[in-house]
Amino acid sequence: MKLRVAVLCGGRSGEHEVSLKSADGIMAAMDPAKYDVQRILVTKEGRWDPRPIVPEPGANPGIDVVFPIVHGTFGEDGTMQGLLELADLPYVGAGVLASAVAMDKEIQKRLCIERGLPVVDYVVTWRDEFNIHESDIEEICRRLPFPVFVKPANLGSSVGISKAKNCEELKAALKLAGRFDRKILVERGITGREFECAVLGNREPAAAVPCEILPSRDFYDYEDKYVLGASKTVLPADLAPEQTREIQRLAVECYRAVECEGMARVDFFLEAASGKFLINEINTLPGFTSISMYPKMWEAAGLPYAQLLDRLIELALERHRERQATSYHMDARQDTRQDTRQDAQDAGR
């Protein structure tokens, strides 16, 4: 009997189009002999087509497992995962907690620091209803050397990111990032090389073959990723064996630090001055477009695209079974407490 898979895509974030491309790639690669696949679209306005998933167990007939590929805000940040938990539906990828903390670039850095993992130096600032305060700009200029990179704290696909070489450019960069998020991350610019490493698994995650990103522009921005198509990748990355092992180790440790499950892509810098790897960020719903590196890294590691999708669905069902077992025992404890109270009442009569 075929497994009924709902591919959930679109969404209200600035990554709507990327999500649609990812969904197209996933649906084209799914084995029709194994899966009965349906597409559920969330429009930019937040409307669902053909129907919303009902946040009530048993109210979603025709769906065995959900493959959410809604990148960015309201999809990758734990909100969609919370809805699927309420609906008691198995779903691919990280849970509510990991999705939420990994989406916030500052929180994920805090957790990495707590685990002793290397991250890029950064400063966090906030915009109020209208702008960034001048005193905050002066503080950033004091604390970090230029150039710096300015990012919305809660977004992906390099949306809203810019590079600033002085205080005037910093003001413009903060204004741009503030269009996408109230919380803004400013990071020290790193001179070096950029790498990505894919991770797969639940309680026993494994890292794939890492790749190197060679941007065609000043940095690997949204246009370079999805519009121009001019950036290049080196897969497998040209690294010494001990460097490959180190980047894989750090990727898995970062994955564990945010309690991720299912999948994630961890991005790195190899700083030229220190020769050390620095964790840039972790992405819990990496792209699955025709140019996305997550499936390509696993293919290089010996796991083709279609088999990767099979494994991700297996991991989703495995985690759901474990959660159901926990819920069962919690219900049993509740029943026991009720029986105990009833016995006490009967004894008192």
Q: What averages of pLDDT result for each successive group of 10 residues across the chain (349 residues)?
A: 96 88 96 97 94 92 96 90 96 97 95 97 85 83 93 78 92 91 94 97 97 78 54 95 98 98 98 96 92 95 97 98 75 53 56
Tell whether 209 and 160 lie within a shared domain: no
Question: CB-hemisphere CA count at 13 Å for 20?
Answer: 12
Instruction: List the CATH number of the domain containing 13.
Output: 3.40.50.20
- What pLDDT score was predicted for residue 62? 93
Tell whether 253 and 135 lie within a shared domain: no
- What pLDDT score was predicted for residue 331? 57
Residue 321 falls inside a structural domain: no
**Distances, alpha carbon 119 to alpha carbons 113, 141, 184, in Å:** 7, 20, 17
Residue 172 falls inside a structural domain: yes
Closest C-alpha to 187, from 122, 119, 136: 122
Tell whether 139 and 224 lie within a shared domain: no
Q: Mind telling me the catalytic residues?
A: 15, 157, 226, 265, 267, 281, 283, 287
- Give the count of domains, the chain: 3
SS3 of 253-269: the string is HHHHHCCCCEEEEEEEE
CA distance 220 to 214: 8
Instruction: List the CATH number of the domain containing 210.
Output: 3.30.470.20
What is the sign of the dihedral through the CA atoms of 325, 330, 331 and 333?
A: positive
CA distance 340 to 346: 10
**Numbers of helices and strands, H then E, in the chain:** 10, 14
Q: Containing H/E element for 133? A: none
CA distance 293 to 220: 13
Tell whether 221 and 107 lie within a shared domain: yes
Closest C-alpha to 120, from 190, 65, 174: 190
- What pLDDT score was predicted for residue 32? 96
Token readout for 161 is 């990111």
Residue 200 falls inside a structural domain: yes
**Tally of residues, the chain:** 349
Tell whether 241 and 114 lie within a shared domain: yes
- What pLDDT score was predicted for residue 241? 98
Tell whether 71 and 126 lie within a shared domain: no
Tell whether 106 and 231 lie within a shared domain: yes
- What pLDDT score was predicted for residue 28? 95
Start-to-end CA distance of the chain, whole Å, equals 55
- What pLDDT score was predicted for residue 231? 78
- What pLDDT score was predicted for residue 221? 54
